[in-house]
Amino acid sequence: MAQAARKHQAEAFVLVSTDKAVRPSSVMGATKRVAEMLVRSFSRKAERTRFVTVRFGNVLGSSGSVLEIFQRQLAEGGPLTVTDAKVTRFFMTVPEAVQLILQASSMAKGGEIFVLRMGTPVKIIEMARNLIMLSGLEPDKDIKIQITGLKSGEKMDEELALDHADLKDSAHPSIMVLREAEVRDLEKDIMNLEILTRTAPSKTLVQLLNELVPSFTPASSHAKGTGVSA
């Protein structure tokens, strides 16, 4: 997509990233981090297109979001499944996410990673309890909350940056800019990954991702359950 934007001289290219790209523990998070790095590398040699990344947490009401799953489980009579009682996540609404993506893209000069202020992390179990009570029911009496155990690659808490000292304010009160060192050209690495997906075992691919993203800590255990935490 970035190559197509550069070829056709699009005005702007916006990558929507995730807090799971920070100290990733899953392949999804690691590939999101690689995508951030790739977009920044494209920005260095872009003639017209402004390449920019926006990073934020979970969006309430989006497809597959925890709220959508909880509502379905509630309609089925429960239980509401949570992986761990202490798990927290950042949340924002769809209108907030859309508005801030558009705002960040209009502010971008090229190469920035914008981090949206997400407020205070929310305990998933409290969200489940509140949803049950808002439905006029009593948690653990009318509707059970089931703790299923963390899934492989899942973290207890999410972060918006490796070091909050690297975040600086922008012209918008809800948007921060991440200060990062320059990254190398990744197009050859991406081509290598593409070839390896056809020829190499998954272990080799994970090792290469780990080389590209040193903060990536691949999960070694198998999934413990199917509960929801994000």
- pLDDT for 36-72, tens place per residue? 999 998 888 888 899 999 998 888 877 778 888 999 9
Residue 220's pLDDT is 56
pLDDT in tens, 122-167: 999 999 999 999 999 999 899 999 999 888 778 888 888 877 778 8
Q: pTM of the full predicted structure?
A: 0.81
Cα distance between residue 95 and residue 113, in whole Å: 20
Residue 223's pLDDT is 37
Confidence of residue 16 (pLDDT cuts 50, 70, 90): very high
Q: What is the mean pLDDT of the chain?
A: 86
Q: What are phi and psi of 122, to 5 degrees?
A: -110, 135
Q: Tokens 């597959």 — which residue?
A: 64
- 86 catalytic? Reply is no
CATH topology of domain 2-212: Rossmann fold (3.40.50)
Give Cβ neighbours of residue 86 (< 8 Å, ≥ 6 apart). 123, 156
Give Cβ neighbours of residue 156 (< 8 Å, ≥ 6 apart). 84, 86, 87, 88, 150
Name the catalytic one among 20, 32, 151, 155.
Answer: 20
